[in-house]
Amino acid sequence: MFKTITAISTPRGEGAIGIVRISGSDAFDILKKIFKLKVLTKSVDNLKNFSLNYGYIYDGERLIDEVLVAIMKKPNTFTKENMVEIQCHGGFLVTQKILEVTIKYGAILAEQGEFTKRAFLNGRISLEQAESIMDLIHSTSDRSMSNSISTLQGKLSEKISEIKTQLLDVISHVNVVIDYPEEGIDEPLPENLYQNLGFAKKSIESLLLTYQKGKKIKEGIKTAIIGKPNVGKSSILNALLKEERAIVTHIPGTTRDIIEENIHIHGISLKLIDTAGIRETDDIIEQMGIDKSMIALESADLVLFIVDLSREFETDERALLESLDVSKTIIVMNKSDLKLYLDLKLIQEKYKKVTISAIQENGLEQLEKTIYELILNEKIEAKMDDILIDNIRHKTALEKSLLGIKQVQETISNGFPLDLIAIDLKDAIDGLSEITGEITNEDILDNIFKKFCVGK
Amino acid sequence: MTEKCDIIVVGGGHAGIEATLAAARLGKKVTLFTMNIDCIAMMSCNPAMGGPGKSNLMAETDILGGEIAKHTDEHNLQIKNLNTTKGVSSKVLRAQADKHHYRMKMREKLESFSNITIRQEIVSELILENSTIMGVKTEIFNSYFALATILATGTFLKGKVIIGDFSYSAGRQGENSAEELSNSLREHGLEVFRFQTATPPRISKNSIDFSKVEEMFGEDMPNYFSVRTKKDENLNLPTWLTHTTIETIEMVKKNLPHSPIVKGTIETHGPRHCPSIDRKVINFPEKIKHQIFLEQESLESSEIYVNGFTTSMPAFAQEEILKTIPGLEKVEIMRYGYAIEYDYVNPHQLKHSLETKVIENLFLAGQINGTSGYEEAAAQGLIAGINASKKISGQEPLILSRSNSYIGILIDDILTKKMIEPYRVLPSRSDFRLSLRQDNAWRRLLEKSREAGVLDREVLEYLSVLDKQINEEVKRIEEAFIYPTKEVNKTLENMEEVGIKKRISVADLLRRESMNYSKIEPFFEIKEFEKKEIEQIEIEVKYRHFIAKEREQIIKIKEHEAFLIPSEINYDKVNGLSNIARENLKDVKPENIEQVFNILGVSIHDINILILYIKELKKGRLI
């Protein structure tokens, strides 16, 4: 049996409520020592399963906070152990105090991810699901959430098993002719092996292609808004924010000069970075801000380059535009509500362009659409439930498998014999096995007996 | 009467022989019990020795001091190279042994040892004292005492022969069974289960129409199983190939209602790798043409083994079906095919030394451990013989691993995996088949052989010298270079080889498909070596990259072996394990994580749980 663990489950810092979570066989005993019910006629001993109970947390005689306590009895809990969740007033000090009391009365401090580890160790979830839960916690967008959930449902496993079966068929055929040379079973033709491997290779490649996309979706797309001073950067930011007001998260900027905001466009999370206006300056403080802008620009996945339609296109603006990576830049031509002074011919065809008026909120929808299509390189209508690889472990394993397949193909092309093909093939299969379950030799043997009539 | 010796061996089959000889060579006084002295070293089923995996076992047994490889080299009708085009790791030999000579000469060999006593008696009971075996009792009320006992009983424990609806107790067709001994095993805590195996009919050579069958020869100048064999010529008598026809399949189908496996007379598991003709038709009804090999059993007999036609159908059906096969229209059956059911002991009750966990100084080898095959039996017999000797001398046992031998794989598999059928070694059971080749068995087990101590010192020292020379020569080839001079390219051109544009190593040149050691002479000072040395040098150089890759995988295994499982672990408390994994873990009691990988029913998920659980345990996060 595992020791009883405790941890603060809400983010550190100020919040409306904080939650301290306890899991383990002693969870209720510990609660009994620190919790008094508001209604004194009821006893902490026989609280109902899945009930929410109002009362107070004490450290001995000393009152700490007024709380709601959720009771969850094993085995139908997240960890399959007895669990208690103490919902207290948010704030660093109160939650910390309650955590300390739970430790004082018998719990030990949980390590990172230990609740999920317990869920895994107690057989509630698979390793893959555990990873997905971590991803879900860390996901910042709807699309990423839906991706984690579909992993939870085993879609990835299904896809991997499919590929694995293709490889298994190849290796079975190789093995059967090595294991049973006098059975009159035809040797696999190199070109057929090559082709069958090609199918598996293609499937893995297309899964891997989703990784960059998946990663971006999971982490949010770093979007730099740049332009000369007063072209309307802040108003564009505000206009975009207005659209999604309900789910905006304010992240305090790390510097005074760069403000980060999160917005969601069609299920994708964008981290908008409003930079200081870029221009030649002698002002040291302003120059520092501009330097930071340039750094933000370099690390950005997406650049919104704002120009003012009501002004001439200046030389340094042109130079800045030239220095940008076309594939990740959208030129946002603002102030369409004013008289046009900008010579549109100066902005080349190769750029994606959107005309808007931030003040009048015109063209914002088009801007969002352009952003989405640039990032995902797909139409907005794309399905939400496609598999995306957004986990580095999965990616590494798939790459290993892909490399294995490529080596097998090379081995075949070089005319090497069957047993060497089998060695590389094993690498390819191992890669996939790292993601889901396993292929043991026993499986290969079973497959042989299913597919071929062998033995004398 | 009572008698005392060092080691008792029960059973004179391929396991018992190796056990007896190994112990005798280690200086022990051995008594070998057999039910019929004339049947020592009998090959109960086909005349073939070797084949994929099995060849490797024979070569490994040979370098450790076993007899099977040398004896097969000496008493065979044909040796054939198999898998010649599938790569160096797949290359193996298969011999057609001369069953009669094999048997007679093996008996002579045993009789030539002054410290071996052979007794024709049926062992019926174990004599134990405090869970340690002291000796055995026989049916005629004799008691024999020894420091250790090895059981190699084959199919004789409560053996039951089945032909159609007819069945009788027998250890082999026409021989007695041992009815008492497995009761005694059970009484003393060994778990006894039943398996089944079968053999095809033997027909008269004179009844075959040879105009309708294809002659198949072996090699005129074959390689041999034993690294010690020095033979200038070998017999190369043919076997013959024919096929089943549509009429055969129809006839099998017609007779299926009489098949014991259809009627349910046989419920025990037989080997899937050796399916009966009934089973082939049931599982693959659409396949018409199954190969049938006709194999001569001995120069001294005209019996022909009908390979591919295993069956326990009633006598009339066997005859009807055989007659549909081209060449066998007028077949005369000399012995009918039959199935045999027998007792075996749960091998999970064994240690890697093949000593039982339950009874001290009792060792088991061969079919009693649920395996099938002469080679598998011989390998275990050798290990049991060595380890029984070591045990009574107070020495550490000889343990082979999955990464150095097929013997290691065989023992590890039967100790950890669920036995669903009689176990046979196959190349696909190995994760490192490029390293575990037949040709290099003598090199990879040189050190282990020194540890075993059975093989002649002189032979070992001689082979050690060869091994060292090979390593040095490989290094010399890897470190020598040739340069794109005019002469070099001219020479290459004369050899019809592609020229070189930059400096390459001699090894790179040798790695070319068309190259061999003697062909590099114009560029490199080659030396005089034995044939087997040159073979090793070429393989090591040519397959260096692949071998290196396998070595990396072997290192991973070593890490798993180093992750020890605390003996105090209680699997019932590891909640996340699947039930089957938990049961099998409790059953096998693995010592490290590597062993867990080989336990059937334990998935990667279970292994992850176990690893994490053990880490938590070691961190002290468990109550």
pLDDT in tens, B264-291: 888 888 888 889 999 999 999 999 999 9
pLDDT tens per residue, range A301-339: 888 888 888 888 888 888 888 888 888 889 999 888 888
Q: Tell if the CB–CB gap between A419 and B290 is shorter than 8 Å.
A: no
Q: Any CB–CB contact under 8 A between B117 and chain A?
A: no
Q: B145-170: buried (b, 16+ CB within 10 Å) or exposed (e) per residue?
A: bbbbbbbbbbbbbbbbbbbbeebeeb
Residue A145: inside a domain: no
- Compare CB distances from A122 to B431, B576, B605 and report the shortest one's residue: B576
Helix or strand run (H / E) with residue B6: strand B2-10
Q: Is residue A140 part of a domain?
A: no
Strands B116-120 and B30-34: parallel
A438 and B603 within 8 Å at the Cβ level: the answer is yes
Same domain flag for A364 and A297: yes
**Can you read off the two tokens belonging to residue B611?**
């690893």
- Residues A114 and A233 grouped into a single domain: no
- Clarify whether residues A190 and A227 are in a common domain: no
What is the rounded average pLDDT of the residues B174-180?
A: 94
Where a domain ends, among B425, B455, B485? B455
pLDDT of residue A236: 82
Give the minimum alpha-carbon distance from A79 to chain B in angstroms, rounded to a whole number.
11
Residues A224 and A362 in one domain: yes
Q: Which residue has the tokens 């090999």?
A: B293
Which of A376, A407, A435 is the endpoint of a domain?
A376
Per-residue model confidence as pLDDT tens digits over A109-143: 887 778 888 888 888 877 667 666 666 665 555 55
Q: Do B623 and A453 touch (CB under 8 A)?
A: no
Judge: B83–A178 Cβ closer than 8 Å, yes or no: yes
On whether both A291 and A371 belong to a single domain, the answer is yes
**Whether residue A455 has pLDDT greater than 50:** no
Q: Which of A178, A183, A445 sits opposite B86 (nearest CB)?
A: A178
Residues B538 and B597 in one domain: no
Is the CB of B87 less than 8 angstroms away from the CB of A418?
yes
CB-based contact, A177 to chain B, within 8 Å? yes
Choose the final residue of a domain: B398, B431, B455: B455
Q: Which pLDDT score is estimated for B470?
A: 97
The reply to whether A355 and A416 lie within a common domain is no
Assigned domain for B555 exists: no
Average pLDDT over residues B483-510: 93
Average pLDDT of B230-253? 96
pLDDT for A259 equals 60
For tokens 């904080």, name the residue.
A18
Judge whether residue B82 has pLDDT over 50: yes
- Residues B477, B448 share a domain: no
How is residue B452 written in tokens?
């075993």
**Closest-CA residue in chain A for B48?**
A456
Last residue of a domain, one of A376, A400, A417: A376
Same domain, B597 and B511: no
**Model confidence pLDDT, tens digit, residues A259-301:** 667 777 766 677 777 766 666 666 776 677 667 777 777 778 8
Asked whether residue B201 is domain-assigned, the answer is yes
Question: Would you say residue B373 lies in a domain?
Answer: yes
Residues B296 and B155 in one domain: yes
Q: Under an 8 A CB cutoff, do B623 and A415 touch?
A: no
Contact call for residues B125 and B180 (beta carbons, < 8 A): yes
Residue A91 lies in a domain: yes
Residue A370 lies in a domain: yes
Check which CATH number belongs to the domain holding B519 and give it: 1.10.10.1800
B residues 361-420 lying closer than 8 A (beta carbon) to A: 417
Which residue out of A126, A182, A427 would a mutagenesis test of the B interface target, given it has the greatest number of B Cβ atoms within 10 Å?
A182
Q: Give the pLDDT band of residue A245 (cuts 50, 70, 90).
A: very low
Answer whether residue A278 is part of any domain.
Answer: yes
Backbone torsion region of residue A230, taken as left when φ is above 0, otherwise alpha when ψ lies between -120 and 50, otherwise beta = left
Out of B291, B553, B605, the one facing A126 most closely (by C-beta) is: B605
- What pLDDT is recorded for position B18? 98
One domain, residues A248 and A176? no
Same domain, B402 and B451: yes
Residues A370 and A221 in one domain: yes
According to DSSP, residue B133 is labeled: E
Mean pLDDT of B490-507: 93
**Sign of torsion over alpha carbons A28, A34, A39, A42:** positive
Please judge whether B546 and A423 are an interchain contact, meaning their C-beta atoms are less than 8 angstroms apart. yes
Report if residue B553 sits inside a domain: no
Together in a domain, B500 and B576 = no
- Who has greater pLDDT, B233 or A172? B233
In this predicted structure, what is the pLDDT of residue A53? Answer: 93
CB-count burial class (<10 Å; 0-12, 13-18, 19+) for B506: buried
- Same domain (yes/no): B333, B481: no
Predicted confidence at residue B454, as pLDDT, reads: 98
Q: Are B356 and B350 in contact (CB under 8 A)?
A: yes
Please report the beta strands in A388-440, taking only residues with DSSP state E, as ranges in sequence order.
Answer: none
For residue A255, the model assigns a pLDDT of: 35
Q: Which domain holds residue B526?
A: 457-546
Of residues A184, A419, A438, nearest to B90 (C-beta): A419
The answer to whether B53 and B426 are in contact (CB under 8 A) is yes
Per residue, what are the HEC states of B215-262?
EECCCCCCCCCCCCCCCCCCCCCCEEEEECCHHHHHHHHHHHHHCHHH
- B280 vs A25, A415, A453: nearest CB: A453
Among B439, B455, B471, the domain boundary falls at B455
Mean pLDDT of B124-147: 97
Together in a domain, A274 and A201? no
Query: Which of these ranges, A111-115, B117-121, B154-158, B485-489, has the smallest mean pLDDT?
Result: A111-115
**Which residue does chain A place closest to B427, by CA atoms?**
A179
- Helix (H) / strand (E) element for A85: namely strand A83-89
Looking at residue A437, its pLDDT comes to 52
Q: Is the N-terminal amide bond of B590 cis, ω within 30° of 0?
A: no
Within the 231-270 window of chain B, which residues sit less than 8 Å (CB to CB) from chain A? none
Q: Tell me the pLDDT band of B314, cut-offs 50, 70 and 90.
A: very high
Query: A70: which DSSP letter?
Result: E
Which residue intervals of A65-126 are DSSP H helices?
A: 92-104, 114-121
Q: Does residue A14 lie in a domain region?
A: yes
Provide the 3-class DSSP secondary structure of residue B489: helix
On whether the pTM is more than 0.90, the answer is no
Tell me if A80 and B428 make a contact (CB, 8 A cut-off). Answer: no
Give the CATH number of the domain where residue B75 resides. Answer: 3.50.50.60
Looking at the structure, do residues A206 and A267 belong to the same domain, yes or no? Answer: no
Residue B101 inside a domain? The answer is yes
Q: B275 and A455 in contact by Cβ < 8 A?
A: yes
Of B27 and A391, the one with more pLDDT: B27
Residue A336: φ, ψ to 5°? -70, -10
The residue count of chain B comes to 623
Question: What is the structure's pLDDT at A439?
Answer: 45
Chain B interface test: which of A30, A178, A411 (most B C-beta within 10 Å): A178
B104 pLDDT more than 90: yes
Any B CB within 8 A of A2 CB = yes
Mean pLDDT computed over B575-600? 84
Residue B558 within any structural domain of the chain: no
CATH of the domain at B603: 1.10.150.570
Number of domains in chain A: 3
* Residue at a domain's end among A105, A123, A141: A123
The range of the structural domain enclosing residue A229 comes to 217-376
- For residue B551, tell me if it sits in a domain: no
Cα–Cα distance measured from residue B428 to residue A441, given in angstroms and rounded to the nearest whole number: 7
Residue A423 resides in a domain: yes
Same domain, A198 and A232: no
The domain that holds A272 is classified in CATH as: 3.40.50.300
Number of structural domains found in chain B: 3
A121 interface with B at CB cutoff 8 Å: yes
DSSP state, residue B26 = T
Contact B546, A420 (CB under 8 A): yes
Q: Mark whether A365 and A251 lie in a shared domain.
A: yes
Residues B228 and B155 grouped into a single domain: yes
* Residues B438, B477 within the same domain: no
Distance (Å, whole) CA B293 – CA B239: 7
Question: Whose structure tokens read 């790292």?
Answer: A434
Look at residue A136 and tell me if it is in a domain.
no
Position B554 in a domain: no
If one compares B428 and B528, the residue with the highest pLDDT of the two is B528
- Same structural domain for residues B448 and B482? no
> For the range A67-72, what are the long-range contacts, defined as Cβ-Cβ under 8 Å and sequence gap of 24 or more?
A67/A35, A67/A98, A69/A31, A69/A35, A71/A28, A71/A47
